[in-house]
């Protein structure tokens, strides 16, 4: 499968992903004696934060491009290339942490089962990801702009659940959901092409399927479509809705 992630764009234009994830680390509260898995570690900045707590941490991601950057930045940390729905590490963990990852997984029950297999009894599963109606306006703008330009249909193919959908999936995998919070978090985007760069990073699979001229015309159209809803006096912003949680393995 092609790797559509741009690690440089991710770190330079979308550093907010890791920055907001630092709040979730406070819920994780890693301890020096613990063994922690960072599921979907990306370029490794939060994996590094976990390591700074003194915990022994392993970063796992399905993108070789992201892991190339992570290994270059943090050579002292172990990073593993694997799919979140079918990994097997041969070791158990006290906690699994995940930030801005689960919404990419279209078979979440498989990921939850894998996490449960790798957690010790009583182990913590802590994370945050896109919840119900996350970036709805962003995706609608790209979808309607593609239709307007007579381009192939855009479908986001993301897992953006409500708490009511999310909780049973965790319970079926052997977890007790102890905390879940769905909240709105309008997120500033950098520069005059903030919306375009968001699309380039997070809708890359679709955009990369288009010829360059069509892709650029679509980005112009979609960003303009968002001007009245996703731009204020400070610039562009993404209409994020996040689902933050803490679950314990039974």
- Examine the pLDDT at 211 and tell me if it is beyond 50: yes
Helices and strands of the chain, counted as H and E runs: 10, 8
Whether 14 maps to a domain, the answer reads: yes
Q: How many structural domains are present in the chain?
A: 1
- Per the document, the length of the chain is 250
- Indicate whether 108 belongs to any domain: yes
Classify residue 148: in a domain, yes or no.
no
pLDDT for 21 equals 65
- Kindly state whether residue 56 falls inside one of the protein's structural domains: yes
Q: What is the reported pLDDT for 7? A: 47
211 in helix, strand or coil?
Answer: coil
Mean model confidence pLDDT for the chain = 92
Rounded distance between C-alpha atoms, residue 196 and residue 194, angstroms: 5
Q: Cα separation of 145 and 163, whole Å?
A: 31
pLDDT tens for 128-159 read 999 999 999 999 999 999 999 999 999 998 99
Q: How far apart are CA 171 and CA 71, in angstroms?
A: 34
Burial of residue 227 (number of CB atoms within 10 Å: 0-12, 13-18, 19+): exposed
> Residue 212: pLDDT band by 50, 70, 90 thresholds?
very high
Q: What is the pLDDT of residue 18?
A: 61
Give yes or no for residue 224 having a pLDDT over 90. Answer: yes
| Strands annotated E in the chain | 35-39, 56-61, 78-81, 93-99, 119-130, 175-188, 231-232, 235-249
Residue 149 is assigned to a structural domain of this protein: no
| Percent of the chain scoring above 70 in pLDDT | 92
Query: How confident is the model at residue 13, as a pLDDT?
Result: 46
Model confidence pLDDT, tens digit, residues 165-198:
999 999 999 999 999 999 999 999 999 999 999 9
Three-class DSSP category at 36? strand
Copy the structure tokens of residue 113. Answer: 């089962």
Provide the whole-model pTM: 0.89
Task: Decide: helix, strand or coil at residue 64.
Answer: helix
Is 49 in contact with 22 (CB distance < 8 Å)?
Answer: yes
| Residue 36: inside a domain | yes
Task: Dump pLDDT digits (tens) for 41-65.
Answer: 999 999 999 999 999 999 999 999 9
pLDDT at 2: 45
Q: Would you state the structure tokens that stand for residue 139, as one six-digit string?
A: 């995706």
Q: Which pLDDT does position 14 carry in this prediction?
A: 42
pLDDT of amino acid 4: 52
Provide the 3-class DSSP secondary structure of residue 132: coil
Q: Which residue has the tokens 């741009």?
A: 6
Look up the domain containing 168 and give its range.
7-133+158-189+240-249
CATH code of the domain covering residue 178: 3.40.50.150
In a domain, residue 208? The reply is: no
């Amino acid at each position: 499968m092609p790797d559509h992630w741009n690690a440089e764009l991710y770190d330079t234009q979308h550093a907010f992903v890791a920055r907001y994830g630092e709040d979730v680390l406070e819920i994780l509260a890693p301890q020096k004696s613990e063994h922690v898995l960072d599921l979907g570690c990306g370029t490794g900045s939060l994996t590094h934060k976990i390591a700074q707590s003194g915990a022994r941490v392993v970063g796992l991601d399905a993108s070789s491009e992201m892991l190339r950057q992570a290994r270059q930045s943090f050579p002292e940390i172990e990073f593993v290339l694997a799919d979140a729905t079918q990994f097997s590490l041969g070791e158990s963990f006290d906690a699994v942490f995940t930030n801005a990852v689960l919404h990419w997984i279209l078979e979440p029950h498989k990921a939850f089962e894998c996490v449960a297999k790798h957690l010790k009894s009583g182990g913590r599963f802590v994370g945050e990801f896109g919840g119900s109606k996350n970036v709805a306006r962003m995706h609608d703008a790209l979808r309607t702009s593609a239709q307007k330009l007579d381009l192939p249909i855009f479908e986001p193919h993301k897992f953006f659940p409500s708490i009511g959908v999310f909780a049973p999936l965790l319970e079926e995998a052997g977890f007790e959901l102890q905390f879940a919070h769905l909240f709105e978090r309008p997120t500033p985007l950098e520069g005059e092409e903030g919306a375009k760069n968001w699309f380039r990073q997070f809708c890359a699979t679709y955009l990369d399927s288009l010829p360059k001229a069509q892709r650029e015309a679509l980005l112009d159209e979609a960003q303009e479509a968002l001007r009245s809803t996703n731009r204020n006096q400070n610039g562009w912003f993404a209409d994020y809705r996040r689902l933050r949680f803490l679950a314990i393995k039974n």
